[in-house]
Amino acid sequence: MEDSFKIPAKSKLLGWILAGVGGIAVIAGFMTDPSRMWAGILLNNFYFLSLALGAVFFISLQYVTDSQWSAMFRQIPGAMMLYVPVALIVMIAMAGGMGWIYEWARPEIARQDALIAHKSPYLNIPFFYLRLLVIFGAWLALIAALRKFFLREDAEGGLHWFRKSKHYSMIFIFVFGVTFSVASFDWIMSIDAHWFSTIFGISAIMSSLYYAVAVIILLVIGLNRLGYLRALNEYHLNDFGRYLFRLSMVWGFLWFMQYLIIWYANIPETTFYYYYRMGEPFTALFYANIIINWAIPFVVLMSDTLGRKKAVLLPMCLLLLAGFYINLYLQIMPGSIGELNFGFIEIGSFAGFAGIFLLLVMKGLSGASLIPVNHPYLQKSLHHHI
């Protein structure tokens, strides 16, 4: 059996450098343009929070469906979920920037605008933070429980912890469905407080799973290159590729579902959302969003022969990470700051969050053994073939 993961000095240094660059970028951002910086922080935080929760969703799906092929990769999404407490800290710090991003959080607008005034019993800062704390409380409790079960299973063995993990996975999927919908309504959709879309929540949930799978693939391939997870074979990669392919279809379907209904109804109250995003300066991003997140993965991963190659999956996952940034950028920036900014502040702050995420993942991986040694399906997963 393989020994546990040792953090490579280079990766650790890279993580700290990225975090340092992020720190400089955030300070520079607040000095030059606070509204842009707050929107950037919200974007980056939601980005990595989605990845972390998508990873938990991924594990939960594997447990609930009794999936055997993925058993040996459980520690990787298990380490990604460590980002959630950081996201809570950043969301609490966001209290200082509410007025910069959310129209409804500015008292003078909330009084004048009839629609926002009407929504104010729901969209007000105390209730916003109450919901936020309840949601994070539920996530942290479930994640702490799952992590405890995983560690205990690695240490003690036996089916008891597997059954508990499975039970809590069911609870997590249910809780996640409700809470992440509310979270995406509150944190992202309420930026355009005049607009609403009931499909927004499920879009955010499926996006989180989609891009989390991409990150899991990147980490698996990366660990394999470092000499870990030697049992990784083409059938595992085939299953991962299929996951991405199917989720690209789900992503495209949900994106189009939201667009079609708004296009068909043609009501100014809802069409303005797309009007801003399809017009200058966001036009290019709007189409890049569809091409990167749906068209390219759909066409390339359709073939099983291509979808199981590391040389295809690696650039595809990196492309999808850029795609997720564009996806969130189009959801957040047009409504909050209304102009297209992409410079050192955006790149630097993204690098900072990525650095923190990387350090946390490596810490999570080094804490436990890299392969869940007592997982009941481990042997089936190590020798997975189809």
Buried b (16+ CB within 10 A) or exposed e, 355-380: bbbbbbbbebbebbbbbbbbbbbbee
Count of residues engaged in binding other proteins, rule: CB under 8 A: 10
Cβ 32 to other proteins shortest distance, Å:
41
Cβ 263 to other proteins shortest distance, Å:
5
Output 74 or 384, the one with its CB closest to other proteins.
384
Cβ 279 to other proteins shortest distance, Å:
18
Site for other proteins in 188-217 (CB under 8 A): none
DSSP result, 325-346: HHHHHHHHHHHHT-S---SHHH
Output 92 or 260, the one with its CB closest to other proteins.
260
Output 264 or 311, the one with its CB closest to other proteins.
264
Output 235 or 344, the one with its CB closest to other proteins.
235
Site for other proteins in 295-324 (CB under 8 A): 302, 304
User: How many degrees, rounded to 5, is the angle at CA 134 between CA 128 and CA 138?
Assistant: 145
Burial of 315 (0-12, 13-18, 19+ CB in 10 A): exposed
Cβ 67 to other proteins shortest distance, Å:
15
Cβ 241 to other proteins shortest distance, Å:
15
Nearest Cα neighbor of 260 from 187, 171, 184, 197 is 197
Output 134 or 265, the one with its CB closest to other proteins.
265
Selected binder of other proteins within 1, 267, 339, 385 (CB under 8 A)? 385
Cβ 141 to other proteins shortest distance, Å:
39
Contact 121, 55 (CB under 8 A): no
Cβ 259 to other proteins shortest distance, Å:
7
Cβ 267 to other proteins shortest distance, Å:
11
Alpha helices in the chain (DSSP H): 9-32, 34-64, 75-80, 84-93, 98-101, 107-112, 114-119, 125-156, 160-187, 200-225, 234-265, 268-278, 283-290, 296-300, 304-307, 310-336, 344-367, 378-382
113 CB neighbour count, 10 Å cutoff: 17
Q: Which region, left, alpha or beta, applies to residue 110 given φ > 0 means left and ψ of -120 to 50 means alpha?
A: alpha
Output 9 or 386, the one with its CB closest to other proteins.
386
Nearest Cα neighbor of 208 from 21, 49, 59 is 49
Output 147 or 308, the one with its CB closest to other proteins.
308
Q: Which region, left, alpha or beta, applies to residue 157 given φ > 0 means left and ψ of -120 to 50 means alpha?
A: left
d(CA 35, CA 37) in angstroms, rounded, equals 5
Output 260 or 284, the one with its CB closest to other proteins.
260
DSSP state of 385: -
d(CA 351, CA 155) in angstroms, rounded, equals 35
User: How many degrees, rounded to 5, is the angle at CA 188 between CA 140 and CA 202?
Assistant: 70
Which range touches other proteins (CB under 8 A), out of 45-53, 173-181, 252-260, 279-287? 252-260
Site for other proteins in 316-375 (CB under 8 A): none
Output 58 or 255, the one with its CB closest to other proteins.
255
H/E stretch holding 144 reads helix 125-156
Cβ 96 to other proteins shortest distance, Å:
41
Which range touches other proteins (CB under 8 A), out of 184-192, 195-203, 253-261, 283-291? 253-261
Binding mask 255-294 for other proteins (x = CB under 8 A): -x--xx--xx-x----------------------------
Cβ 256 to other proteins shortest distance, Å:
6
Cα 278 versus chain centre, distance? 24
Binding mask 95-124 for other proteins (x = CB under 8 A): ------------------------------
Phi–psi pair at 286, nearest 5 degrees: -55, -45
Output 256 or 342, the one with its CB closest to other proteins.
256
For other proteins, the binding residues (CB under 8 A) are 256, 259-260, 263-264, 266, 302, 304, 385-386
